[in-house]
Chain A
């Protein structure tokens, strides 16, 4: 069994945020602190910082030749992991062993200088990425051909359009041939054509027995290029396995509810104390499940009214237990739990908010929840034909079935 190309053991990375002491403290502050410290005693400004773990006990192996996708929600720790692997930042705890020449692509065009020509920048960027000048010279023509900027290769890069700049920058990076390649979302920039080209190139590199670690939010790219994938969540490895599995878990994680809305300033009368959604992402025709915690000083009969607003804040859907459904419910003295099912919702893809009222139908409004509950519709293809109806089309937010017949 060959030794793994990358072995990560118990990796932890801590960041402290908020305290001025770590990032960009000024000399003036440092001196003042120095004078004050003996007067203040041992208690230090470190108390004011908050620390959080960007990576928690991450361990995994990557075999030589494996092409692994790295996926996860924003803030899961993907970029931090890459930075540690690329030696840009040191781990707080743990150990990494890398066997083979490794190169990282965390940004395209690192080190490009606007005043230098394309030719000079190729040399510069190549050296920065770790290519020897001999290597750069050998591959020079291929790089220029790939980038498509032959005509402008001797003009200063500041004259290039952003597209040309990107193409040149990526062309250099694309000709890196390390044994292990680590790529971070560099494909997020550029037009669709360019992204296709980049993906194609990465596919070529991956197909040649090199080890690749590929971070992306683009699930179709991951599916296409990576047989296996690793899912990160809150700094830990949730799953490393077949990419289909990892992607499915990622999708279900994304759908999980965001934090509950908790009412901080509560009136003394009956009110809604807390609302949460089990799933904050549904598809067209889906049903929302709301869990509410209600409070009342005495037993009462009440109802809930709901308005769903689109991302422009306009009401799109109305629903209520009463008067709409004609059902009131009993509120006990103290707390009552209520589960609401709203749907099916024939909504377009996009972001929405739910506004809730606790009412006595036709009589009075007990309480309006101060914050709306956000949710989103991920897919809107009512007839299952691949159509994606979006709020942003400006043609309304609701789509219903339509049937027809013609007569000759």
Chain B
């Protein structure tokens, strides 16, 4: 939609006042505004142009998040830790949930890390667009940046929690294995799926105002559909592939394999990756479809 010939406007600053722009040349950035018909192509070039804004907004989210909590950084660890304690007591000890031969606590903690990231990222991106209503109605930038920026914030928390996990592993006498090298890949996978779901939900929230009540329920339900508190091996062999249609399933199990030195189920991860890609594409398509109406309905 835009033919971009960049013309940098050099500005020399006098002590006071505003510098005059460089003499207009024939090559000037031209923007065309037209009614949007049908499916608008995803403009990656434009997104790249606004990458600084994405960074600034992510930074803002992180800063604000920490400025508002009393516990600050500790919150990143407390959330999964407390859940781990509760699950260990009820599932690990009382219900005697199998854990692929690992101590249940660390098994569930490792699963909770990517899950907590996903749940928080999706909740905040779902609410991000509606929460930025005043921005959306006053300033132009590719709206996709808003849900994308909310996902980035959770990565800091994930990083801190991962450090704790590594420490815990040493505490349990579990060594760090070569599998750890795959960890960044799996984290990238989780980010990918979080982005896809987050983008989709954020648009749904704008289109249907009561959707925000659905999101917490959706996330809770999703957690039990994902092998976080139970191992994937719990599912009977011939139905296991169904489990891995849930994109988070493959990545959570994969994350656990990476850290706790379990064999990777690449087929599962592959299946989840395909599902994640599908969700992402559909999410972005839906988002772009709703985007043109954003300022009118937000």
Contact = CB atoms under 8 A, between A and B. Distances in A.
Interface string B281-298: 000000000001101110
Interface stretch (A125-133, A273-281, A360-368): A125-133
A99 B30 contact: yes
A87 interface: yes
B18 A177 contact: yes
A83 interface: yes
B36 A90 contact: yes
B208 A25 contact: yes
Given A113-B60, A124-B60, A89 B18 contact: no
A208 B35 contact: no
Contacts of B21: 177, 179, 208-210
A177 B9 contact: yes
Nearest to A12: B35
A133 B34 CA distance: 30
A42 interface: no
Nearest to A100: B28
B178 interface: no
Interface size range on A against B = 35 or more
A128 B146 CA distance: 11
Contacts of A156: 67
A88 B140 contact: yes
A26 B208 contact: yes
B278 interface: no
Given A90-B35, A107-B138, A97 B296 contact: no
Nearest to B40: A90
A128 B214 CA distance: 31
Contacts of B136: 88
Interface string B15-59: 001111100100011111111100000000000000011001100
Interface stretch (A115-123, A283-291, A304-312): A115-123
Contacts of B134: 107, 110
Interface in A98-112: 98-102, 104, 106-107, 110-111
A87 B30 contact: no
A101 B134 CA distance: 23
B297 A208 contact: no
Nearest to A116: B63
A93 B35 contact: yes
B78 to A, nearest CB: 21
Given A22-B297, A90-B35, A208-B21, A111 B139 contact: yes
Nearest to A139: B13
A89 B34 contact: no
Most buried by A among B11, B56, B138: B138
A116 B64 contact: yes
B29 A95 contact: no
A115 B67 contact: yes
Contact of B295 (A89, A179, A204, A208): A89
Interface string A1-39: 010000000000001000000111111101000000000
B144 interface: no
Given A106-B139, A111-B139, A128-B141, A92 B52 contact: no
Instruction: List 7 tightest A-B contacts by C-beta distance, closest first.
Output: A96-B33, A26-B210, A127-B56, A27-B208, A24-B209, A87-B140, A107-B138
8 contacts: A24-B209, A25-B207, A26-B209, A98-B30, A110-B139, A115-B68, A124-B60, A208-B18
